[in-house]
Amino acid sequence: MTSPGISIEHVINGMKRASLCRLLGDELVETLRQLLASTPTDDALRNVANVLYADNNPTSIQDAAVRNIIIDSLSLEKARELADKLRLKTKGNFYTSLKAFDPAKNPDHTGALFSFFGITEDPSAQMVRKPAINEVTPEYGLFPHQRDVARRAQMALEVHPNKVVVHMPTGAGKTRTAMHIIARHLIDHGPTVVCWLANSGELLEQAAEDFEKCWRVLGDQPVMVYRFWGDRNIDLSEVRNGILVAGFAKMHAAYSRNQNALIALGDRASLTVVDEAHQAIARTYRSVIEALYTKQPENQLLGLTATPGRTWNDAGADAELSEFFANSKVTLDVPGYSDPVDFLISEGYLAKPTFTSVRFDGDLGLSDKEVKAAEAGVDISDESLRTISDSGARNFIIIRAIEDLLQRHNRIIVFGASVRHAHLITGLLVARGHDGKLVTGETPIARRERIIRQFKSDAPRAMVLCNFGVLTTGFDAPRTSAAVIARPTKSLVLYSQMVGRATRGPRAGGNETSEIVTVVDTNLPGFGSVAEAFTNWEDVWHEHE
């Protein structure tokens, strides 16, 4: 018993010379003869025919003349089989009936015709004709307000003293705007090096990933991405064309060991970006920035911040930071709005947030040395965060705050102080009958993706997603309408990004309103000010128009 159907290639390989010449046409056969300087063999004709009409090519069936030659070349058995498939009423001559069959007039049976010849491409698919005018949406584009900020910042960087702070509140797209500036710089000034400096490993990895995403769309040549923080080590002398994403602590240690290596890097680094600009005048980090920025007269310095002040309650320090950046600032300037946040909320980019602070006055279990280190440092150490995680009294008020939010919200995200803390809070929620989910850097990828899919679903049951270190950025769950920030931090950028997970506005697929609860540890000096600073705007800067 023969197998059903037959391939076009099989039909062509069984054709006699006369049929092959009809299929290819006299002109093509004559051209082949001239090129070969001899009469083409039957095998040569078959090879050409297979190239033109075999290999899943629907043209062999859609073209009536070609189709008829192929039908004439079928064996009687295959012609009868095809006629039966197409349910044709034949009067003894299968070939005549098959050649009279018009696929365009019999769309219900066209699929059977293509299937018989082993053609899997959709026969009904029409060639898409492009309209005279159509809109092309960029994969890594900017909103109008972001384009305006990028334009003004680029202009400021190109004129003496070649430095500026870009001030955009959370939700305004500060990182994406900065990546456009960096991409344009690499294109205009390359081959060159851009240095991106920040203090948090989370923020550094986010920057590296955002640049990779940006450059794939906007870039004009291959460049390198160098990661230099934590346990990632590279030879700074080998940093050439690309972006160096580096931790302040790592860079300061490198500077302390070998100042010349960092100064030499300054010869190649034509743009330095400080992710949390208020850190720029810290004594330990200022030397790193100046080694990079001041080496060449045309080197540029870009500061990024959600608020232009450094301490938010010390006018002298704010003025010092302003002076360090030559009093040069670019921020959102939207006609009709005195405050950029008002613009973002009214236009639907941001949900209107309600901020609540929950004060914890109890003992955190930290030694005097740890408290002093936290007070003096840019941010609290990982070891101190782990210690704070074990405070039962603190965890109790966190659970109470979450349960209060559960009365009004179905999707809540909790930022724990450590991996252990995220585990503890999740366990306590589950013990109290709530749907608590856990995601940390230790969660297997498949499990993490499954949990996030559940959290992002439309299931009516309220869910609380507890995490540490993985969902501050790159996490898109528009239904999230509340956040509990139980992780102490002095980083306004990190705090802003945690807030941003719950403040997507309706224009971005989110909510009109949101609630943010911040746990303020009164025994950690300076760690409460970051929440207060979130809505503070300084006036010690000059605007670039």
Size (the chain), residues: 545
Looking only at the bridges linking them, the beta strands covering 242-247 and 328-331 are unpaired
Nearest residue to 288 via CA among 381, 195, 375, 373: 195
Domain 144-341 identical in fold to domain 348-533: yes
Phi, psi (degrees; rounded to nearest 5) at 274: -105, 110
Nearest residue to 25 via CA among 14, 33, 37, 36: 33
> Which pLDDT value is given to residue 513?
92
3-state secondary structure of 355: strand
**What predicted TM-score, i.e. pTM, was given to this entire model?**
0.65
Residues whose CB is less than 8 angstroms from the CB of residue 346 and which lie 6 or more positions away in sequence, other chains included:
337
> Which pLDDT value is given to residue 430?
92
Q: What angle do CA 144, 148, 154 make, to 5 degrees?
A: 140
Confidence of residue 1 (pLDDT cuts 50, 70, 90): very low
For residue 497, pLDDT beyond 90: no
Distance CA 15, CA 24 (A): 12
More confident residue, 28 or 414: 414
Rounded mean pLDDT of 154-162? 95
> Which pLDDT value is given to residue 375?
61
Q: What angle do CA 226, 229, 231 make, to 5 degrees?
A: 105
The pLDDT tens digits for 308-346 are 544 444 556 678 888 889 989 998 888 888 778 888 888
Confidence of residue 86 (pLDDT cuts 50, 70, 90): confident
Q: Which CATH class is domain 348-533?
A: alpha beta
Distance CA 227, CA 250 (A): 11
For 144-341, CATH number out of 3.90.1300.10, 3.40.50.300, 3.40.225.10, 2.30.30.180 equals: 3.40.50.300
- Angle in degrees, 0-180, between the axes of helices 17-24 and 64-72, rounded to the nearest 10: 170
Could you say which DSSP state residue 350 is in?
B
Q: Parse the chain into domains and list their residue ranges.
A: 8-116, 144-341, 348-533
Confidence of residue 374 (pLDDT cuts 50, 70, 90): low
Looking only at the bridges linking them, the beta strands covering 436-440 and 269-274 are unpaired
Could you say which DSSP state residue 131 is in?
P
Distance CA 248, CA 285 (A): 6
Under 8 Å between Cβ of 315 and 285: no
- Start-to-end CA span in the chain (Å): 82
Nearest residue to 433 via CA among 406, 455, 393, 397: 406
Q: Which two tokens stand for residue 315?
A: 């006018």
The pLDDT tens digits for 215-255 are 999 999 999 999 999 889 999 999 999 999 999 999 999 99
> Which pLDDT value is given to residue 542?
47
For residue 539, pLDDT beyond 60: no
Sort residue 157 into left (φ over 0), alpha (ψ -120 to 50) or beta.
alpha
For residue 471, pLDDT beyond 80: no
**Which residues face 295 on adjacent strands?**
none
Q: Which two tokens stand for residue 527?
A: 């760690």
Could you say which DSSP state residue 175 is in?
H
Q: Which two tokens stand for residue 238?
A: 């080998």
Under 8 Å between Cβ of 165 and 305: yes
The pLDDT tens digits for 90-137 are 776 888 888 888 887 887 777 888 888 888 765 555 555 778 998 998
- Across all residues in the chain, what is the average pLDDT? 84
Q: Which two tokens stand for residue 407?
A: 């009365």
Q: What angle do CA 461, 466, 472 make, to 5 degrees?
A: 115
